[in-house]
Amino acid sequence: MKIERIDLRIVKLPMIRSFATSSSQKNSQTHILIKAYADGLVGWGEAASPADPFYCEETYETCWHLLERFLGPAVIGREWSTIAEFKAPYAKVKRNNFAKAGLEMVAWDLLAQAEGKPLHALLGGTRDEILSGVSLGIEADIQRTFDQIDQYVGEGYRRVKLKIGPGKDVALIAQVRERYPDLALMADANSAYRLSDIPVLKELDQFGLTMIEQPLAHDDIIDHARLQVELETPICLDESIITAEDARKALDLGSGRVINIKVSRVGGLSEAIKVHDVCRERGVPVWAGGMHEMGVGRAANVALCTLPGFSFPGDVSGSDKYYVEDIVDPPIRATSGAIAAPTAPGLGWTPNEARIEAATERFAALTAER
């Protein structure tokens, strides 16, 4: 297989409702869609970096720079037949994992199409449908949180995750737990606490949360190990786990008991599978987080979640939770808290080029001559 041309697009979609975490707030999503032409096939990828460097150091502008100047030119015109061969020309590029994940997705899509298989089959997936949960942002008042939980539980979602932060934690979780005593509930702090906050975090133990996600610093696994011995609630690591080696070290240290795998954060599906495998060898459950992906990245997330270790409902919900109209056909939908794995070859959902064109804010075509 040889990629002859790559089209990069910055695509902006309005969101149904604004979404706030402990570190950011947004009303729209701007990601990079990558379209590659190879051997008569067309493959798609999505670099799902936020606009601001508050989740990690990347933004869609840094992803554009990496894709246009380094990653795209590295793979155009080169022969490859495996994902490892595809990645080799840019192996020396450090980090920039959202950009790498978007490009690698293109290769997986092409390979799956060439083999006539849906992506999840190529990844080694074993599930026909994935367990789907929802992640709710921090709202200005509790009624808005209740309204959303009512809606999504009514739609059949099987787990609710609430974003928390200092001052929006114990009282919030207490109110939600009182109203929904049996709901599978978890909290995500997005690195908003320090070890000195142990008393507050211990208070959360009384609410039977399935886990608390990334309470401490984004790059920490040491203090999380100190915190985990103090808490009954399992800690789930998100931001701290960039590679499968990070996962191994964190589990050796006891920094958490669950890992949230994000394709973007770890630099692509191949590293995501490695993180999954490290956890599975130790009996540690994983689930998939998301970055509010549009249909292309969301399709890749669905494929990943079919692997056997994804035993908790993750953040991969129907795209109608975020977007009035997504950029793939048919829309990715959850039914009774599950998304069926597609049967079509490749990503399994078809990018709608007219809608993508209409939402495009910047375009560049990369070719060997450029």
By beta carbon distance, the residue nearest Mg ion is 238
User: Residue 306: how many CA atoms within 13 Å on its side-chain side?
Assistant: 23
Cα–Cα dist 190/20, whole Å: 11
Q: Using the minimum distance from each CB to Mg ion, give the nearer residue, 101 or 103.
A: 101
Q: How far is the CB of 214 from Mg ion (least distance, A)?
A: 5
DSSP character at residue 165 = B
Asked whether the beta carbons of 63 and 99 are under 8 A apart, the reply is yes
Asked whether the beta carbons of 278 and 244 are under 8 A apart, the reply is yes
Cα–Cα dist 41/36, whole Å: 8
Site size toward Mg ion, by CB under 5 A: 3
Q: Using the minimum distance from each CB to Mg ion, give the nearer residue, 33 or 235.
A: 235
Cα–Cα dist 216/207, whole Å: 20
Cα–Cα dist 35/26, whole Å: 26
Q: How many contiguous H segments (helices) and E segments (strands) does the chain have?
A: 13, 15
Active-site residue set? 163, 262
Q: Using the minimum distance from each CB to Mg ion, give the nearer residue, 190 or 319.
A: 190
φ, ψ (nearest 5 deg) of residue 161: -110, 130
Q: How far is the CB of 188 from Mg ion (least distance, A)?
A: 4
| Helix, strand, coil share of the chain (percent; to 5) | 35, 25, 40
CB atoms within 10 A of CB 143: 9
Q: How far is the CB of 21 from Mg ion (least distance, A)?
A: 8
Interface with Mg ion, residue 104, by CB under 5 A: no
Structure tokens at 11: 């695509």
Cα–Cα dist 352/271, whole Å: 28
* CA angle at 272 for the pair 258 and 67, rounded to the nearest 5°: 135
Q: Using the minimum distance from each CB to Mg ion, give the nearer residue, 23 or 350.
A: 23
Q: How far is the CB of 260 from Mg ion (least distance, A)?
A: 6
Q: How far is the CB of 192 from Mg ion (least distance, A)?
A: 11
Interface with Mg ion, residue 315, by CB under 5 A: no
CB atoms within 10 A of CB 333: 15
Interface with Mg ion, residue 188, by CB under 5 A: yes
Cα–Cα dist 218/289, whole Å: 15
Residues in the chain: 370
Stretch in the footprint of Mg ion (CB under 5 A) among 93-101, 206-214, 228-236, 296-304: 206-214
Question: Of 350, 357, 359, 314, which Cα lies nearest the Cα of 334?
Answer: 314
Choosing from 155, 238, 271, 293, the residue that interacts with Mg ion (CB under 5 A) is: 238
- Binding interface with Mg ion (CB under 5 A): 188, 213, 238
